[in-house]
Every structure is written in C-alpha cells, then in structure tokens.
Amino acid sequence: MAARDPVAEPRDDDLVVRVAGLVNRFGSQVVHNGLSFEVRRNEIMGIVGGSGAGKSVLLHTILGLHEPQAGTVEVFGRNILELSPAERLAMSRACGVTFQSGALISSLSVAENIQLPLREAYSLNEDLLEDLVQLNLSLVGLAPDAAEKYPAQLSGGMVKRAALARALSLEPKLLFLDEPTSGLDPISATDFDALLLYLHGELKLTVVMITHDLDSLFRTCDRVSVIVDGRMVTDTLPGILENTNPWIREYFHGQRARGAQLAAAGEAVPRAAHG
C-alpha cells in the first residue's frame, strides 16, 4: 500500500520536498553546484533567480523529468531517482504542475484537457466527468461556458487558470507553478494571487512557485528561495530582505522591488484594520 501511495505515509511529516547536494551541468556550464532545497508541508515557497540560474532545471529535476549529475531528490520522503515505474506514476499523480505557457493540449477543449488525467487514472462515467470539470472550473474561478472553448480561444489569464484546473484535477497535495503570473496584466495577476491563496487555504496545498513577479512574491509566499551561483539561499521574506549577498540585495532592493514592497505594505494596513 505504501509503495502505491507515496502521499499516504510520508516518512518525514514536515518536509515535502528535500533536495540535497544537487549538481547539474550542461557541457562546461555548471547550473547547480551542490544545491540544497527544502519545502515544508503546507507552505507557499517562492523560487527566484536570474535568467539562466536554473529555476526550470530545478523544477524538472524535482519532477523527475531531468536526471541530475549528482545529489538526492526526495519528494514525500521518497527518492524520486529510485522509483519503480508504478511508484513514479503514483508520484506524478500526487504532484500537480502548471507550465509557463500553460501547456494545455491545443487540440482538446478545456473540458477535455481537465478530463484527460482523470480518464487516464480512473474509469469514470461521462456524467461524473462533466461534473468534475464543473468542479475544477469553479475552483479556479472560470465560468462554466469556458469548458467548451479551445486553448487558442482563451485569454492569457484564462489559460493560466485552465492549466491550474487541469493540475488540480487529480487532487494533488503538492503543486508546482512555473511563472504563474507571467504575461498577465496586473489585475489578472492580482486575481491569480488571490486564487492561489484561497486554494492554498481551502485545499491545504503545498505550493512551490517559480516567479519573477515581485508583487506576487510579496503577497503570497511564506518563504523565498534564491538561486545564486548554483546554490540556494532560503529564508522568510523579512529575512531575505536583510540578506547581504549583492545579487539578492540588487534583486530585492532595486527600483521595481521597492514599488512592490510599498504596494504589499500598503495592502497590509487595511487588511489588518478589517481583520
């Protein structure tokens, strides 16, 4: 039973993802050089880093899509590099992923995209599948008539939400988001942040989010990990703002960052007043 369901009996209740001593090289280019990274149960972890710092490679490694040169990667307490095919399947069902551009299957409607993993995993009848599409659409705040649309007919924000609906359809406990707010207007991005916080609270999800959107980072993340020089610096938001590494200082104290911090601080005041 434990072999079939990696979520049911985690060995370490606190850590959902544990990466240690990770090394990734492409030719002479060293992307990760002994990187360590941990995600706790029920937190929203933000990953930031410069372009080419290896954020997506890290995500692909954790998902088992890329084999590292060295290091261990544990998800739900199990080494993902040593899983049997059956365990790997169970693991991929326990993790939901949205990719940067949505990666909805372009020849299938939104409803069919959401049904796709469900159909593969379980034998459900058509009425029930339709009900579940409505469930997932309303979870991510899409109108019921979005179901019949094709990805090309959706706006950028709707694509991100539909991708999230597909990722949620197998009820994962761990959700990976690759730049969920990139390419969205500020209103849609703010809505998406709110949606993420709402789902995180309601569904008790653990979320790992790669993002360049500082507003989103300040609003949603419990902790932040920064990839610098092939290694990871993880801290709470106030902690990371105090960090003395020049790159991290530049990232979080540049022109753009100050505006985002002000906005987040401004928002916190009325929230506290009402709360």
Helix (H, G, I), strand (E, B) or coil at 227: strand
Binding of other proteins at residue 126 (CB under 8 A)? no
- CB of 179 vs other proteins, minimal distance in Å: 18
Residue 218 parent element (H or E): helix 214-220
* Interface residue with other proteins, options 81, 119, 144, 265 (CB under 8 A): 144
| 132 versus 197: smaller Cβ distance to other proteins | 132
| Candidate list 3, 65, 128, 268; residue touching other proteins; CB under 8 A | 128
Q: Tell me how far, at minimum, the Cβ of 152 lies from other proteins, in Å.
A: 3
Q: CB of 51 within 8 A of CB of 116? A: no
Q: Which one among 139, 159, 163, 174 touches other proteins, defined by CB under 8 A?
A: 139
Strands 70-75 and 15-26: antiparallel
Residues 8-27 close enough to bind other proteins by CB under 8 A: 8
CA separation for the pair 173, 180 (Å, rounded): 18
Dihedral, 110, 112, 114, 120 alpha carbons, nearest 10: -160
152 binds other proteins (CB under 8 A): yes
The interface region with other proteins, picked from 20-28, 77-85, 129-137, 174-182 by CB under 8 A, is 129-137
CA–CA separation, 165 and 118 (whole Å): 12
Considering only residues 40-99, where is the footprint of other proteins by CB under 8 A? none
Residue 21 one-letter amino acid: G
Going across the sheet that includes 29-40, the strands are 29-40, 15-26, 70-75, 78-79
Stretch that binds other proteins, among 10-18, 39-47, 126-134, 213-221 (CB under 8 A): 126-134
- Contact residues for other proteins, defined by CB under 8 A: 8, 105-107, 122-125, 128, 131-132, 134-135, 138-139, 143-145, 150-152, 170-171, 202-204
